[in-house]
Structure 1
Amino acid sequence: MYDDSSSRIAAELRSWISTAPPGAKLPSTRSLVERHAASPVTVQKALRTLATAGLVESRPGVGTFVRTVRTARPNDYGWQTGALATPGHRMPKMPAALQSAPNDVIALHSGYPDRELLPERLVRAAFTRAARSDAVINRPPAAGLGELQAWFATELGSAVPLGVTPPAPGDVVVQPGSQAGLSTVFRTLVGIGRPLLVESPTYWGAILAAEQAGVEVIPVPSGFSGPDPDELARAFERTGARAFYAQPNFASPTGAQWSDALCEQVLGIVREHSAFLIEDDAMHDFGITADSTPLAARDDAGHVVYIRSLAKSVSPAVRVGAVIARGPAHERILADTQVHSMYVSGILQAVALDVVTHPSWKTHLRNLRHQLQSRRDLLVDSLREYAPLVHIEAVPRGGINLWVQLPDAVDMDRVVQESRSAGVIIGAGSDWFPAEATGKYLRLTYAGPNPGTFPDAARALGEIIARC
């Protein structure tokens, strides 16, 4: 666990505030500095923490006081029941991956890499250059900046084998992140009420996007080796589906990477049923002991619709992605993009292009690979030593997550709650199943902050699981 001077000061003041009357004046900054042998900056940081929590209020020139509790008049929102009526789709709860966590906990739940894994220097420099360019004024084309379209097409084209026609820049539609791309593809290629086959478990964002698009989600069993091709074929035949959403490389949450043989089998099944394979390659830049080899590189007949995002590898603030599709499917995707977002911010596109074409980008990716490997191995070793009841089926060759299973008798809700109380934030694996979960799973990220605390987290988790 982490503790620093400001946290200790804040904790002591919280205790004092709990017994103080509203309006009571806190000790002065000078007295707190003397009492705790801390700097004025540290004391001010503690006071800001308390103010952010709504416990105190500062009056310039007077001091800091326990905040007066104001009893709010309850509002009646009953009129909205009739105005909203019954929702046309289920409103899922926020998954653990999106929940914010305090700085003083061990966060093993986030879906985004820690800032030390991002090319921060490149991103800051790119924003500075973009701010001086015409990108701050001009409206970009609906399909995206031509140079960025060409970069995405070239990236996919570099993996194309002989005899397959590589994608053209005109096949690319730039999106405001992969989530927007998923929503657009599900709306245009599947449609309301029609079936969409998905791996189970799968990315929670795809489940959410499918529900928002009103499509019928059909789970296909999948694991660390990928989906069962026989089950996939039967699902196509049984449902009449014309689309299958999958992550062939470093899938979230399992970390699975399909073998060459499975790629050919799945592509054959998709072609046989005249269907689309919607390939999500969000973890393209997060290879560790293997590289991402897109399935879309093997197809030039328009069966594979490819989605890639830069929000995780460049910066969450640079929500830029792309959908690569051919034929009439491309035209539908572009039309839907124009309706829902018109175009992606020219500034963000310019920044993304600047970063990924900078000579230091490749160096950053090489360093990232080493960092991810050391983090992954530390988390795996820590769990094996301190949490032996946690079953690790396989160690992923890429991605940012470790998918683990707990004993069937474990009370999962209790494990999650007690872990949070112990300062370890985790997310139950049920968020990643489009139907009922088939076991007690956890998705633990090794790309979060402070990897040095992994042993502490594993020790706490092991003790909690044993109790539960």
Structure 2
Amino acid sequence: MHIELNRGSSKSLPQQISDTLGQRITSGLLQPGIRLPSVRGLASSLKVSQVTVSKAYEELESHGHIICSQGKGCFVARRPLTPVEAGSAWQDGYDDFLPRAQLWRNFDYSAVQYPFHLAAIHSELLPLQYIGATMSSLVTGQPELMASYGNFQGDAELREVMCRHLQSRGVEVPSSDVMITSGSQQGIDLVARTFVGPGDTVYLEAPSYTGAIDVFAGRGAEMIFIPIDSEGMRLDVLTRLCDKRPPKLIYTNPTFQNPSGVTMSMTRRQRLLELARSYRCLIVEDDPFSDLYFHKPPPPPIKSMDKEGHVVYMKSFSKVIAPGCRIACVAAGGNILSRLIAAKSASDLGSPLLNQRAVLPFITRRYDAYTRQLRTALRGRMETAVKLLKRYAPPGVTCNVPEGGLNLWLQLPGAEGIGKLHARAEQAGISFLPGDVCYSGEVPSRHIRLCYSQMKEADMEKGLRLFLQLLTEHLRTDQLT
């Protein structure tokens, strides 16, 4: 079993082993019933002492992730194997290099009636008919598009449109500095695979976007999480830590942050860019939600102030207009972008040309008017959800009212029992995102994320009432026990 250990890390070796195995277990990569390597075997493969592995296993057992039996070994929380699972048991010992995979679990709720887990917009609010009609006409009128590889950097006309869109928001870049990706998730992955290696220091907000954590963990990065407050990432904490561990990269989602909904102030955006200059590092600015404000526009992107190429800016259109089309743009300067294009060419030979041409007319002619209407609809859903929380949420449950975006970030009285709450909610046909997956896993989170835009408003209201009733019962039971 491969585990990337950083012997220069401030985190102990037992903790690194425990964290990696714990994240594999919670994300389903190590399934119930699987036997873990022996203490001696894992110690030998990792070139550490048996005491180190024993401490890691003790930590996992204390959290209920594994069960250890004298003479038999240590197993992930066990259940009987089906014949199919038993027949493929040889795969359990086949090494992989995935330290965690929480993101894929976020989509695995097809059976629930009230899906609050996924930060997405309900199909009735999306311009799917317009984009679908465009795609249909392209398929019949220009079928050769399906026989063509797209340019590695992206369709030239779409890049021009993206360039004008960014310029209207203060980001002055030529189209030669823009690349089209299959969603911002691919952009994050390309940056990580190009510039981050084992042991490199990556700073993120705490909490942070699950998909980014998965990507940087997969590169073996030393991830350090910086707490946030009402103005975003705590730059005083970041600066103090950077003096001890200079950053290779800083990842931030500064506008209506996922999952917390917090927006970074203009002052902190300026200071963060200054810090990147002083340490000669990259900032990855992930911006899927800035067009979804409810009252006034948020501060301009950090990229708008970047004159030296420290910011790799990612603007997703997938989430806002058509998630299935997987369209985002990445803006970066100099040979940073050149290297990202090279990495993308090895990744997918170019994003699908048909998808790029399908969204092009809508972004060109209708995007701004559409987002104005969308903001109104999302604000109504948010206000309905907040009213329900104020009326039905049990004592001790708090939530800041977001100024934009798709999510509510709830804080519960304690972290204990959120796993049980999650299981009870699923049984009732309700899903939510546990806060633990938005951190690296060292400390249990007291938070959960609820998305108010994934359902029709009536369904959202009914589902949220049911969930708050379930939450009240859960907390009452927890207090009695």
What interval of TM-score do these two structures reach, taking the shorter chain for normalisation? 0.7 to 0.9
Contact 1:285 1:365 in 2 (8 A): yes
Letter in 2 for 1:376: M
Quote the residue 1:308 is aligned against: 315
How much does 1:76 deviate? Answer: 3.5
Aligned with residue 436 of structure 1, among 429, 442, 447:
442
Quote the residue 1:117 is aligned against: 125
Runs of 4 or more, structure 1, over 6 Å off, are none
CA distance in 2, matches of 1:319, 1:444: 23
For 1:214-240, what per-residue CA distance to the aligned partner results, in whole angstroms no more than 9, with x for missing partners? Answer: 322221112442111111112222212
CA distance in 2, matches of 1:390, 1:106: 24
Aligned with residue 77 of structure 1, among 88, 94, 105:
88
Contact 2:181 2:351 in 1 (8 A): yes
CA distance in 1, matches of 2:203, 2:90: 39
Quote the residue 1:150 is aligned against: 160
CA distance in 2, matches of 1:409, 1:275: 35
| Unpaired segments ≥5 residues, structure 1 | 1-70
Alignment of 1:393-412 (within 5 A): 393-408=399-414, 410-412=416-418
Are the structure 2 counterparts of residues 388 and 77 from structure 1 closer, same or farther at C-alpha, using a change threshold of 3 Å?
Answer: closer
Aligned with residue 448 of structure 1, among 428, 451, 454:
454
Is 1:130 the counterpart of 2:141 in the alignment? no
Letter in 2 for 1:77: S
Contact 1:195 1:239 in 2 (8 A): yes
Letter in 2 for 1:262: R
Are the structure 2 counterparts of residues 178 and 377 from structure 1 closer, same or farther at C-alpha, using a change threshold of 3 Å?
Answer: same
Quote the residue 2:175 is aligned against: 169
Alignment of 1:346-365 (within 5 A): 346-359=353-366, 361-365=367-371
CA distance in 1, matches of 2:166, 2:398: 32
CA distance in 1, matches of 2:286, 2:182: 15
Are the structure 2 counterparts of residues 187 and 106 from structure 1 closer, same or farther at C-alpha, using a change threshold of 3 Å?
Answer: same
| Unpaired segments ≥5 residues, structure 2 | 1-81
Quote the residue 1:52 is aligned against: none
The alignment-based identity, stated in percent, is 26
Letter in 2 for 1:329: I
Normalized against structure 2, the TM-score is what? 0.76
Aligned with residue 330 of structure 2, among 300, 318, 323:
323
Is 1:296 the counterpart of 2:303 in the alignment? yes
| Alignment: residue pair count | 390
CA distance in 2, matches of 1:346, 1:418: 44
**What secondary structure sits across from 1:336 in the alignment?**
helix
For 1:139-185, what per-residue CA distance to the aligned partner results, in whole angstroms no more than 9, with x for missing partners? Answer: 32110001111122222222328xxxx21100011111111110101
How much does 1:448 deviate? Answer: 1.4
Alignment of 1:166-315 (within 5 A): 166-292=172-298, 293-315=300-322
Could you tell which deviates more after superposition, 112-121 or 274-283?
A: 112-121
Are the structure 2 counterparts of residues 416 and 136 from structure 1 closer, same or farther at C-alpha, using a change threshold of 3 Å?
Answer: same
Larger radius of gyration: 1
Could you tell which deviates more after superposition, 207-216 or 303-312?
A: 207-216
Normalized against structure 1, the TM-score is what? 0.78
Is 1:425 the counterpart of 2:428 in the alignment? no
For 1:65-121, what per-residue CA distance to the aligned partner results, in whole angstroms no more than 9, with x for missing partners? Answer: xxxxxx957653354456x33x33413345653222336x22211122211221122
Alignment of 1:31-110 (within 5 A): 75-80=86-91, 84-85=94-95, 87-94=96-103, 97-102=106-111, 105-110=113-118
